[in-house]
Structure 1
Amino acid sequence: MLNILIKTFSELTTQELYGLLQLRSEVFVVEQDCVYQDIDGKDQIALHVLGFADDQLVAYTRVFKPEAYFKDASIGRVVVKKEARLFKHGYSIMEASIKAIATYYNETTIKISAQTYLNTFYTNLGFKAIGEEYLEDDIPHIAMVKN
């Protein structure tokens, strides 16, 4: 069971910010061997959804209101610590993120840019693929929408 915290950028403690940046780097840069600009200037306008297990950050997303990233509300930087994935924390953090968009933005339509290999995961959460596969930072992605 995850303990979920939802915070704006200015509400994050220094430790929480360090932890989420460390987790994103650990998975997206090191594990996926992808050199890209993670710190993109959008964290300041996002809501941060942090998932803790035993006081350790193991899952995270950032969510955006409509027009902040895409036309629709969106969820990005979906990440779960490698050794915590067997506990299905990805579903918990995504469900909390979907709920946060409904609560904070009163929105139900959500667009994501999903790594293609996670298509089934996102489909299980109610997302549907739209358009063609594309490369983002040399990793195959597909746009997906949940209504």
Structure 2
Amino acid sequence: MLPVFSRPDPDMNWKALDFEQITARELYLILRARSAVFVVEQSCVHLDPDGRDETSVHVFAAEDISRSMPVIAYARLHEGGTGAAEVVVDKILTSPQRRCDGTAHALIERVIAAAGERWPGRSIRLLAPVSLRGFYEAFGFRKNDGPFDERGIRTISLVRKSRLNLGLARTAGCIDTVETF
């Protein structure tokens, strides 16, 4: 029997926005959440605002935006390299308070939907820790490269080919960290 996880709070405010649509407060809170996970929690010193934010779609969920850390899930989508027929998803995170409650699952569902709406017919590519391979495979992603070392983490590249009418698989269990570089 597969373990069961609770569904995320239905009152979460999910958004998929272009850079120009994000308010200054939302941008600040997104960058704060990314720094909290990628720089502080994972002890990886790097420049997080890397020049791709302005041409990306930002998918995120926030609870009470007046709180200091309301962004509970986030992912960034952008076109692959020049002429690439794929969408790249990176900066994927869930806040420590929302891990193991289905929030990561809801985030990936929304990422796939946003990619399909913005870039129909394109494959989706991401990098993920080896330990999360099963999580992403439940959404139709398949390993296409790796493992290799990325900032001290054993990482693989995964691709989800474009498919019409794909029913999203449900995944079970606890995701401790959902992070892509």
TM-score, normalised on structure 1? 0.91
Hey, what does 2:78 align to over in structure 1? 64
Paired residues for 1:1-147 under 5 Å? 1=10, 2-55=12-65, 56-67=70-81, 71-147=85-161
Gaps of 5+ in 1: none
SS in 2 for 1:34: coil
Higher mean C-alpha deviation, range 96-105 or range 68-77: 68-77
What SS does structure 2 have at the residue aligned with 1:86? coil
Structure 1 residues 84 and 70: CA distance shift in structure 2, 3 A: farther
Greater relative contact order (Cα < 8 A, sep 6+) = 2
The answer to whether the Cα contact below 8 Å between 1:70 and 1:111 also exists between their aligned partners in 2 is: no
- The structure with the largest alpha-carbon Rg is 2
More helix by share: 1
For structure 2, list consecutive stretches of 5 or more residues without a partner in the other structure. Answer: 1-9, 162-181
TM-score, normalising length from structure 2? 0.75
Counterparts in 2 of 1:89 and 1:101: CA distance versus 1, 3 Å? same
Aligned length, in residue pairs: 147
* Cα deviation, residue 145, structure 1: 0.6
Distance 1:124 1:69 in 2: 28
Which structure has greater strand proportion? Answer: 1
Give aligned-pair identity as a percent.
29
Please report the RMSD computed on the Cα atoms of aligned residues, expressed in angstroms. 1.8
